[in-house]
Amino acid sequence: MAANFWTSSHFEQFLDPEEVDVVHQQDKDKGITLEEFKLVKMHMTNCIQKLAQFVKVRQRVVATAVAYMRRVYTRKSMSEYDPRLVAPTCLYLASKAEESTVQARLLVFYIKKLNSDEKYRYEIKDILEMEMKILEALNYYLVVFHPYRTLVQLLQDAGINDMNMTQLSWGLVNDTYKMDLVLIHPPYLIALACMYIASVYREKDTTTWFEELRVDMNVVKNISMEILDFYENYQTISEERVNAAFRKLSFKP
Amino acid sequence: MGDGNNTSGRGIAANNTSSTNSEKPEWLQQYNLLGKIGEGTYGLVFLARIKSLTNRGKCVAIKKFKQSKDGDGVSPTAIREIMLLREISHENVVKLVNVHINHADMSLYLAFDYAEYDLYEIIRHHRDKVNHAMNQYTVKSLLWQLLNGLNYLHSNWIIHRDLKPSNILVMGDGDEYGVVKIADFGLARIYQAPLKPLSENGVVVTIWYRAPELLLGAKHYTSAVDMWAVGCIFAELLTLKPLFQGAEAKSTPNPFQRDQLDKIFKILGHPTLEKWPTLANLPHWQSDVQHIKAHKYENTGLHSVVHLSPNSPAFDLLSKMLEYDPRKRITAAQALEHEYFRIEPLPGHNALVPNQPGEKIINYPTRPVDQNTDFEGTTSIQQPPQPVPSGNVAGGMGGHVGRNGSVNRPMPHPQVQRMPQGVMAYNYPSQAGVGDMNPGGMPMQRNLAAQPHQPQQLRRKDPGMGMTGYPPQQKSRRM
């Protein structure tokens, strides 16, 4: 259902991490590793975020766009669906779904402005064609739930109202979109994990509050560990590694 | 949904960019196209029958969304409708059975379970043909099921925003005979956490069914707007006439509709700040308060208009639906619990067949099918339309769609784009073979299984196909 997460298509479509971390055969044939697969998705997440700042859409639109992109790549290969086209198109589609429609020509304008690399230069027509292919790849499931609303409610419930904590956990939630967590875990658990990390980091004692929650703290801690691992391993995405992956992808046998 | 059609016309996009392609896309080959049943600003609605063995004979209404002319891809309306329909599932809400994409001309198709009747046709049939009121059981069952579907939507934070008789369908022959289906989610919204004020994407709801807070310019309205529309529809089921038939002021971009408000005030009396405290915050109440106050309304009394005793449960329910203050207006959940539904006759699943012995079963007219139009919206010249049994077919278009009455919708697109004449791309008569069709106008027949093959008839001249017995709709319908 559109407003109840537990009966939503989002929940029904949850995947196990092993299902998400699958490099499609076509990409594998070109020598793409799982690391590179993740790296490209992460890089494209950053691109969507940057583009979104120019066309001025809210964070929820960005989050939905990234979720779409990640779902697409659980089903389609990067060889067939060029990430440099899929990413902006996901933002385009998400802007419609989240009622903040952005014109395709505006997107194309900023893509060109942001990227000197010719390989990013797609035209309006390409975006419109890809929009249909993405709708199909998503199997027309477009509702995505995000941790933001829950996070605000949880912070309130925990009696946390200092800006430091709020901003840190909000920022952490943003960063979770650089990973595939949105395809695997319910938004409230992602929100809790981010709060958990933030409170440890800011040395805020939330133990009692967490204990009173009826959630499996092991799951929350596991998600937190994943997030921390991510920070450790991907602190900086080297441009070179991304480019190397794209070179492999564009290889025509 | 669409799972099976991984090829879905992509082959066509690859080898043929022109829509004059005479080959049907793969997805379309699973249907026999029977004709056009509706038209809106976004595109057309077709009736088709599924060929596959498992669903043999099952009909679907296929709503076609054209690529918008302004070069902005799939219309946001279509996106939102798909997004909602893909999540919802309820007995009293129309079911989306498939989505298809035609990559060649970038059009999008939604296939719904087909419902043969709608409240617009049912009400009109009673008014113009039967000449007596609908029986109480039918009224109550229709209303109960409508509320049941609406309660589901509202409890999931969805406002329909465009409830009117033509959007409320009733199933024909089959397991679900006489079951109400709420249709047309083109304007529906999830209102749990909107990124924009609800008023920002256009004035909604056909003027006659539009709630007073909308008419007075409310920015943040609620599911109560749907309940007002249900109240209007309830009254219309009782009297067979629209309750508040205001004349629409089309020129003004703002939602203020003086005549519509006048019509409401005449029957319900003036809203007052005592009864509706937040009235003072509504933009048009402030700006037009002088006009409104200058006018004297002789409160006719709702009960005399709808011919109900002021003490009857039916009247009590109706007046609670037509409560001015949206915060006091009865909710769908409360309405379902109302005494009206606990007294005889009790509402039932099959609204069309009265469960009292001796009551006459009325053969309602089904929604009309224009067999003269192909999937591109061009007029077919290949296959003459078949005569339709008179009395069983009425005029009027659509039902899943805004019919001719799309004037109140936000119009993101220009009128349906016409393809050049002679473009027969997916024209069913020329492709499907005569043997595949049901020449008797299959969806209009109760016993559709065994239709004899009728000889071809001369093509009709009149463009309003199948409008036997009724004047053309374009004039009589203004919503």
Q: Check residue B395 and give its pLDDT.
A: 32
The nearest CA of chain A is from the CA of B195 a distance in Å of: 7
Write down the pLDDT at residue B262: 86
- pLDDT-derived band at B460, boundaries 50, 70, 90: very low
* CATH code of domain B117-341: 1.10.510.10
Q: How many residues does chain B have?
A: 479
Contact B79 A142 (CB under 8 A): yes
Please tell me the distance in Å from B138's CA to the nearest CA on chain A: 30
Query: Which one, of B170, B161, B37, lies nearest residue B111 by Cα?
Result: B37
Residue A207 pLDDT greater than 50, yes or no: yes
DSSP of A231-253: HHH-SS--HHHHHHHHHHHT---
B320 contacts B329 by C-beta, under 8 angstroms:
yes
Position B130 pLDDT exceeds 90: no
Structure tokens at B150: 């609406």
Weakest mean pLDDT among B13-17, B96-100, B246-250, B278-282: B13-17
pLDDT score recorded for residue B194: 53
Order of strands, edge to edge, in the sheet holding B44-50? B31-39, B44-50, B59-65, B107-113, B96-102
Determine contact: A131 vs chain B, CB below 8 A. Answer: yes
- B192-200 contacts at long range (C-beta below 8 A, 24 or more positions apart): B192/A3, B192/B157, B193/A149, B194/A99, B195/A58, B195/A60, B195/A61, B195/A98, B195/A99, B195/A100, B196/A99, B196/A100, B198/B159, B199/B255
Residues of chain B with Cβ-Cβ distance to A88 below 8 Å are none
Quick one: pLDDT band at residue B396, thresholds 50, 70, 90? very low
- Is the bond preceding residue A186 a cis peptide, omega within 30 degrees? no
- Residue A93: pLDDT over 50: yes
C-alpha torsion B451→B452→B454→B460, nearest 10? -10
Judged on CB neighbours under 10 Å (0-12, 13-18, 19+), A175 is middle
Which residues in chain A are closer than 8 Å to B194, comparing Cβ atoms? 99
Nearest-neighbour CA in chain B from A104: distance (Å): 6
- Per-residue pLDDT band for B95 (boundaries 50, 70, 90) equals very high
Mean pLDDT of B279-299: 71
Q: Is B262 a catalytic residue?
A: no
Q: Does A149 touch chain B (CB under 8 A)?
A: yes
Model pLDDT, residue B407: 33
B99: closest CA of chain A, how far (Å): 8
B84 and chain A in contact, CB less than 8 A: yes
pLDDT of residue A218: 92
Pairing between β-strand B180-182 and β-strand B168-170 as defined by DSSP bridges: antiparallel
Q: What is the pLDDT of residue B479?
A: 35
Is the pLDDT at A57 greater than 80? The verdict is: yes
Active-site residue identified among B162, B184, B370, B374: B162
pLDDT at B424: 34
Chain B contact set for A124 (CB, 8 A): 71
What span, in angstroms and rounded, lies between the C-alpha atoms of B5 and A72?
17
d(CA A181, CA B272): 53
CB atoms A93 and B79 under 8 Å? yes
The answer to whether A5-143+237-249 and A147-233 have equal CATH topology is yes
Query: What residue in B sits closest to A150 (Cα-Cα)?
Result: B193
User: What residues of A are in contact with residue B103 (Cβ under 8 Å)?
Assistant: 129, 132-133
| Residue B64 is assigned to a ligand binding site | yes
Is B82 within 8 Å of chain A by CB? Answer: yes
Q: What is the pLDDT of residues B13-59, one digit of tens each?
A: 333 333 444 567 788 888 888 888 877 666 788 899 888 777 667 88
> For residues B356 and B346, what is the distance between their CA atoms, to the nearest angstrom?
11
Segment among A60-64, A99-103, B258-262 with least mean pLDDT: B258-262
- Measured distance CA(B396)–CA(B126) in Å, rounded: 15
Q: Which CATH fold would you assign to the domain A147-233? A: Cyclin A; domain 1 (1.10.472)
Vertex A35, ends A30 and A36: CA angle to 5°? Answer: 45
Domains B1-116+371-383+408-479 and B117-341 share a fold: no
On chain B, the residues whose CB falls within 8 A of the CB of A9 are 86-87
Say if the Cβ atoms of B72 and A101 lie within 8 Å.
yes
pLDDT for res B435:
34
Other CB atoms closer than 10 Å to residue B56's CB: what's the count? 10
Are the Cβ atoms of A99 and B108 closer than 8 angstroms?
A: no
Alpha-carbon distance B362 to nearest alpha carbon in chain A (angstroms): 37
User: Who among A124, A136, A140 is closest to B86 (CB)?
Assistant: A140
Residue of B nearest to A143 (CA): B83
B108 CB neighbours in chain A (<8 A) are: 132, 135
**Residue B216 region, left (φ>0) first, then alpha (ψ -120 to 50), else beta?**
alpha
pLDDT value of position A80? 94
Q: What is the pLDDT of residue A190?
A: 96
Cα distance between residue A55 and residue A110, in whole Å = 8
In this predicted model, what pLDDT tens digit does every residue of A108-154 receive, in sequence order? 999 998 887 878 889 999 999 999 999 999 999 999 999 999 999 99
Task: Say whether residue B95 is in contact with chain A using an 8 A CB cutoff.
Answer: no
The answer to whether B52 and B68 are in contact (CB under 8 A) is: no
Is 90 exceeded by the pLDDT of residue B340? yes
Of B236, B297, B227, nearest to B265 by C-alpha is B297
Within an 8 Å CB–CB cutoff, is residue A58 touching chain B? yes
Domain boundaries, given as residue ranges, for chain A: 5-143+237-249, 147-233
Instruction: State which residue of chain A sits closest to B14, comparing Cα positions.
Output: A129
Range in A7-11, A163-167, A183-187, B217-221 with the lowest mean pLDDT: B217-221
Lowest mean pLDDT among A95-109, A110-124, B229-243: A110-124
Q: Is B7 on the interface with A (CB under 8 A)?
A: no
When CB atoms are compared, the residue of B82, B86, B156 closest to A4 is B156
Please check whether residue B73 touches A, CB under 8 A. yes
The answer to whether the Cα torsion of B70, B71, B76, B81 is positive or negative is positive
The mean pLDDT value for B306-313 works out to: 92
Which candidate from B2, B74, B88 shows the least CB-CB separation from A2? B88
pLDDT band at B328 (very low <50, low <70, confident <90, very high): very high
CB contact under 8 A, B195 and A100: yes
Residue B354's pLDDT band (boundaries 50, 70, 90)? low
Query: What band does B190 get if pLDDT is binned at 50, 70 and 90?
Result: low
Instruction: Report yes or no: B216 and B256 within 8 Å, Cβ to Cβ.
Output: yes
Mean pLDDT score of chain A: 91
| Chain B CB within 8 Å of residue A80 CB | no
Partners of residue B111 on adjacent β-strands: B62, B98
Chain B residue with Cα closest to A127? B73
In percent, the amount of chain A with pLDDT more than 70 equals 97
Interface test with A, best of B27, B72, B80 (most A CBs within 10 A): B72
| CATH architecture observed for domain A5-143+237-249 | Orthogonal Bundle (1.10)
| Site from A68, A135, A148, A149 to mutate, B interface, most B CB atoms within 10 angstroms | A135
A98 touches chain B (CB under 8 A): yes
Q: For the beta carbon of residue B377, count every other beta carbon within 10 angstroms.
A: 18
* Integer CA distances (angstroms), A144 to A162, B150, B182, in order: 29, 23, 24
Least confident of A3-12, B122-131, B440-449: B440-449
Fold of B1-116+371-383+408-479: Phosphorylase Kinase; domain 1 (3.30.200)
Q: How does the average pLDDT of chain B come out, rounded?
A: 72
Alpha-carbon gap, residue B63 to B77, rounded angstroms: 13
pLDDT at B461 > cutoff 70: no
Distance of residue B159 Cα from the nearest chain A Cα, in angstroms: 11
- Residue ranges of the domains in chain B? 1-116+371-383+408-479, 117-341
| Dist CA B15 CA B455 (whole Å) | 38
Tokens for B17, please give them: 């960019």
| Chain B: residue whose CA lies nearest to A144 | B83
